[in-house]
Amino acid sequence: MTQKIDNDGVELVRDMLSPDAAEAMLKPPEGSFAPEIGALSINNVFGPLWTRPGLSRRDRSLITLAALVASRSTHELQYHFRIALKNGVTKEELEETLYHLTGYVGFPPVATAVSIAKEIFDAGEGPEAGDLVK
């Protein structure tokens, strides 16, 4: 990869996910398919968007979850439910967010999101768990 990496984005991923997650995004295994996708995410989303002033990480988490539920982005929801918890969103607030979204995006995408969140909580990765992202 020849692009310059957004250091603010790297630090944010380290903090919201984990140092290992940031490393994996920057240095995927040799021969990986689309190996630059992690760096693109850091440079185009986490760095320039998540580090902007004006909204807290908590608020950005709620907005991100709403967008991911609406677009049925199930893979990303697995990460962003955990990020939201780490950013101070409570289990009850996640539930209320999903209830509210049923009126705007419909029951099927919310039901899918509920099952993803339930897996996270059933695995003991709720707010009382130590490391939310493994």
Do residue 129 and residue 99 come from a single domain? yes
Alpha-carbon distance 94 to 108, whole Å?
17
Matching residue, tokens 């539920």: 69
Domain end residue (candidates: 52, 68, 92): 52
Do residue 11 and residue 76 come from a single domain? no
Alpha-carbon distance 100 to 14, whole Å?
30
- pLDDT, tens only, 69-114: 999 999 999 999 999 999 999 999 999 999 999 999 999 999 999 9
Report the 10 Å Cβ neighbour count for 56: 11
This prediction has a pTM of 0.87
Residue 33: CA count within 13 A, CB half-sphere:
0
Alpha-carbon distance 132 to 109, whole Å?
23
Do residue 104 and residue 86 come from a single domain? yes
**How is residue 6 written in tokens?**
């957004």
Q: Percent of the chain beyond pLDDT 90?
A: 89
